[in-house]
Structures are given as C-alpha cells and as structure tokens.
C-alpha cells in the first residue's frame, strides 16, 4: 500500500510541470507559452485591464496604465505610465510573468524594448465586437482561469446574439455617430461601433468612407439626413456637440428629437463593456425606429 502511494505521488510530481504549462496564440499569431499560469500581470491599456478583471484575474494585476478606471478596484493599481508611453524600468521592477499589450495603441518602439527583456507578451488587438470573447478565453488560459473566462465569454456572445435576434428584420435606422466636434469627426464601416449598429439593425451613414475616423463637415451630415445622431460622454462640452444640430430642424434626427448621449467609454474601449454599449445604442435605435 505504501509503495503504491509513493509511486502515485512521484507520478503526480512528474506530471505537474507538464500540466501547469499554458500556451495560446495572440493577435499577432505568436505562440505565447508560460511555464505556469500567470500570477503577476501588467496591463498596457485600459480595455486590457477590464478584460483581466472580467475573467477574475484582477487581483493578479501588479501594474496598469493611466485611465484604467474600471472596475473601481482598477483605480488603485500601480500605474506604469500611459498606454502610449510607459515606464520600462518600473515595469521591469514589478517583475511580471506576463504583459498584456495593445499593438494598435502601444508604441512599437517600446514594445520592441519589452520583448528584449524576455518577459512574455500577449498581444491583444481585436478588430470586431465578436473578437472580444475569444480574447477573454485566451487570457483565461494564460491565467489558469479557463472556466471563469469561458463563462464570461459565453455571456457576451449570448447577449450579442440576443440583440441581433431582437432587431433582425426590423426597419433600418440611419445613424450618424459623432466622435469629435471640432474638427467634426465620425467613424466608417471598419470601426467596432459600426458592428454595434449592425446588431441593432442600424446603418452607419458614413460607413463607406475610406478613413476609419474621417473628418467631415456639416453639409455632409445634412445631406446624409440621419434619423438618429449619437455620441458618448457625460460632460457639458459633449452635450453641446448634440445641441449644435438643433439649428437644422428639418433634419430627421432633429425633427424627431433623436439626439442621444450614450454612457462614456462603453463604445470606445475594446473590452467586455462594448456589449453594454451596444445595448444602450440599440435602445436609442429602437426609439428612433418607433
């Protein structure tokens, strides 16, 4: 009996390293392998911080960039700079076993320097709303939190599918989404906010423009005659972005009082709250449709 117990313990000890190793592919197509699930993680963008909290890995974040303000616990994290300029020495001093980076926003030069440090980097670069659940699942593998991550990912997929089902076959609503005021800026069909519009059965009136965040003029908006105008934020300055359109009472959105200020950050961060933003947008679209 004793010899069998010893053999079992030895077998478990031999198997442990193999079982502990985790490996995934990131959004650059690189294989990221850790000898064991990450315990000390640094996040280099606010949406990455949200992703980690969403899968239950918030307590493992040892550093994050400025504006990592959701959930509330994220505000207490040590800051390592901003997403577009971070402190390499501070990052090294924190001794992370995983860095989660954003290649579309983080400076390429600094990312190259981080790679030279030999710290594993996972590159997160989702382009579509549908990409986000998969990111959560892969982060869950790297953190050894597979079950929590799969649950969070499935919840996002189900909520997005519900929106698509609720608005399928309904009358399309023409939407102008205002990103900035001076200069006047919007989004094209490649932006994730347009993905959210599609779930709502809405049409981005500037989807065909080549730039992802094109600059336009008032005449273009008047010619498009949107049925709904939306932006996001909570400041008085941004409220003025909407009131400027009241000078054009013949435009459909103004005539029917369909000018909406959506909650800040929900549609601007490539994290799990994008689905919250899509739900808020769909509610506005439904009002305009009615």
Please, what are the domains in the chain? 22-153 (3.40.50.1980), 169-289 (3.40.50.1980)
Average the pLDDT over 51-68 and give the result.
Answer: 97
- Work out the percent of the chain whose per-residue pLDDT is above 90: 87
The pLDDT score that the predictor gives to residue 4 is: 53
At 21, list the tokens: 């190793």
The pLDDT score that the predictor gives to residue 100 is: 98
Give the confidence band of 239 by pLDDT, cuts at 50, 70, 90.
confident
Average the pLDDT over 79-106 and give the result.
Answer: 95
Average the pLDDT over 14-42 and give the result.
Answer: 85
Residues 264 and 234: beta-carbon distance below 8 Å: yes
User: Which residue's structure tokens are 């369909």?
Assistant: 258
Q: Does residue 71 have a cis bond before it (omega within 30 degrees)?
A: yes
Q: What is the pLDDT of residues 146-181, one digit of tens each?
A: 999 999 999 999 999 999 999 999 999 999 999 999
Average the pLDDT over 31-48 and give the result.
Answer: 97
Crossing angle of helices 274-289 and 192-199, in 10° steps, is: 50
Please tell me the distance from the alpha carbon of residue 84 to that of residue 145, in angstroms, as a whole number: 29
41 sits in which H/E element = strand 41-43
Average the pLDDT over 10-36 and give the result.
Answer: 77
The pLDDT score that the predictor gives to residue 2 is: 43
The pLDDT score that the predictor gives to residue 12 is: 44
Whole-prediction pTM: 0.88
- The residue that leads in pLDDT, 68 or 8, is 68
DSSP lists the bridge partners of residue 81 as: 86
On the question of pLDDT at 13 being above 60, the answer is no
Please tell me the distance from the alpha carbon of residue 48 to that of residue 29, in angstroms, as a whole number: 18
Average the pLDDT over 245-263 and give the result.
Answer: 95
Which is it for strands 259-262 and 228-232: parallel, antiparallel or unpaired? parallel
On the question of pLDDT at 8 being above 80, the answer is no
Give the confidence band of 74 by pLDDT, cuts at 50, 70, 90.
very high
The pLDDT score that the predictor gives to residue 1 is: 45
On the question of pLDDT at 111 being above 90, the answer is yes
On the question of pLDDT at 11 being above 50, the answer is no
On the question of pLDDT at 80 being above 90, the answer is yes
Give the confidence band of 5 by pLDDT, cuts at 50, 70, 90.
very low
The pLDDT score that the predictor gives to residue 16 is: 42
**DSSP state at residue 201:** T
Q: What is the pLDDT of residues 183-219, one digit of tens each?
A: 999 999 999 999 999 999 999 999 999 999 999 999 9
């Amino acid at each position: 009996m004793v010899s069998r117990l010893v053999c079992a313990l030895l077998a478990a000890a031999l198997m442990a390293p193999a079982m502990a190793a985790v490996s995934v592919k990131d959004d650059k197509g690189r294989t990221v392998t850790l000898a064991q699930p990450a315990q000390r993680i640094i996040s280099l963008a606010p949406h990455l911080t949200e992703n980690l909290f969403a899968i239950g890995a918030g307590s493992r974040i040892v550093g994050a960039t400025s504006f990592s303000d959701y959930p509330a616990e994220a505000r207490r994290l040590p800051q390592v700079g901003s997403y577009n300029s971070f402190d390499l020495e501070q990052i090294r001093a924190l001794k992370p076993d995983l860095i989660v980076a954003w290649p579309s926003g983080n400076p390429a030069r600094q990312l190259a320097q981080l790679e030279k440090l030999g710290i594993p980097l996972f590159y997160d670069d989702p382009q579509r709303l549908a990409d986000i659940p998969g990111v959560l699942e892969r982060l869950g593998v790297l953190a050894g939190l597979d079950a929590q991550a799969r649950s969070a990912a499935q919840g996002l997929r189900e909520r997005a599918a519900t929106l698509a089902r609720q608005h399928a076959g309904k009358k399309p609503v023409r939407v102008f989404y205002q990103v900035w005021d001076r200069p006047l800026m919007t989004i094209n069909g490649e932006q994730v906010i347009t993905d959210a519009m599609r779930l709502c059965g809405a049409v981005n009136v500037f989807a065909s423009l080549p730039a992802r965040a094109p600059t336009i003029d008032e005449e273009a908006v008047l010619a498009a005659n949107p049925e709904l105008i939306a932006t996001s934020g909570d400041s008085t300055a941004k409220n003025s972005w909407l009131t400027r359109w009241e000078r054009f009472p013949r435009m459909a959105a103004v005539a029917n009082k369909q000018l909406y200020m959506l909650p800040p950050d929900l549609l601007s961060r490539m994290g799990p709250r994008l689905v919250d933003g899509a739900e808020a947008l769909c509610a506005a679209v439904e009002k305009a449709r009615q």
